[in-house]
Amino acid sequence: MPPKDRFKKISNNYGELFSEVFAVQGFNYEELEKSIFDTVSRIEPDLIGSSILDIGVGDGISIKPFVCIGCKKLIGIDLNQEMIDSTRTKFGDSISLFKMNATDMTRFKEGEFEIIISGATVHNIPKTERVKFWKEILRLKPKIFITADKIKDSDTTKHHLDYQSEIEAIKKIYGERHSLKEAKEEWLDHYKCDEKEALDINEISNNLGEKYKISTVFEMGLYKTIIALRK
């Protein structure tokens, strides 16, 4: 059984280094994360006044564009205190931050957020625990739920090619370019676990589909941005 905080081991070697993993494949990690903001800002007329929760705020890449336009009600949660501290250092009190598990957000009330965003987080929640997470999303009942995440493609050949490309990129960046042998091995273990615990669109549709209209709005390698709009 995977640990509750699967991201903890690799969190020290995330940020800039992980962006390099994208760059070496010809991708841009910030562009993936920004697809969340771009999509939401196209459909939500009052973004600045909306109450927005970022699940797995990490070091703030997903929420940054919302901070930049001056959104007034930004809340971020994360399981990992170091990631929260890093976001606080970058953004001060423009985001209210809480250490919290996405599978238990009982501190928040139904309807408290018009918009819930999440970047590269849901796939880190162990599959059996994710059932609780989807229930929490249904309970919180946002108008929009959007996630840019590692989401397994139904085309197995495409998935395999994208997976191999990212594994090679991890080896190149962590192993060769930065000589971080231990970090490289931790990431490779993390990816093996991701495969076993894979998140796919069926899981999202099965859990949210009755109440939400689900669509894919952006794709980059192993990652997709999925939006769920309340029916």
Least distance to ligand SAM, CB of residue 35, Å: 11
Q: Which residue has the tokens 């085309």?
A: 155
CA–CA separation, 228 and 100 (whole Å)? 23
Q: How many residues does the chain have?
A: 231
Least distance to ligand SAM, CB of residue 105, Å: 9
Please identify, using beta-carbon distances, which residue of 99 and 213 lies nearer to ligand SAM. Answer: 99
Residue of this chain nearest to ligand SAM (CB atom) = 58
- Going by their DSSP bridges, the two strands 144-150 and 223-230 should be labelled as antiparallel
**106 is written with which tokens?**
């009982």
Please identify, using beta-carbon distances, which residue of 6 and 46 lies nearer to ligand SAM. Answer: 6
**7 is written with which tokens?**
């991201």
Please identify, using beta-carbon distances, which residue of 47 and 102 lies nearer to ligand SAM. Answer: 102
Please identify, using beta-carbon distances, which residue of 80 and 205 lies nearer to ligand SAM. Answer: 80
Least distance to ligand SAM, CB of residue 159, Å: 19
Please identify, using beta-carbon distances, which residue of 33 and 194 lies nearer to ligand SAM. Answer: 33
Nearest to 124 by CA among 218, 14, 37: 14
Residues at the contact surface with ligand SAM, assessed by CB under 6 A = 7, 33, 56-58, 61-62, 77-80, 83, 101-103, 119-121, 124-125
CB 87 within 8 A of CB 66: no
CA–CA separation, 12 and 57 (whole Å)? 15
Least distance to ligand SAM, CB of residue 119, Å: 3
H or E stretch at 190: helix 181-196
Least distance to ligand SAM, CB of residue 152, Å: 16
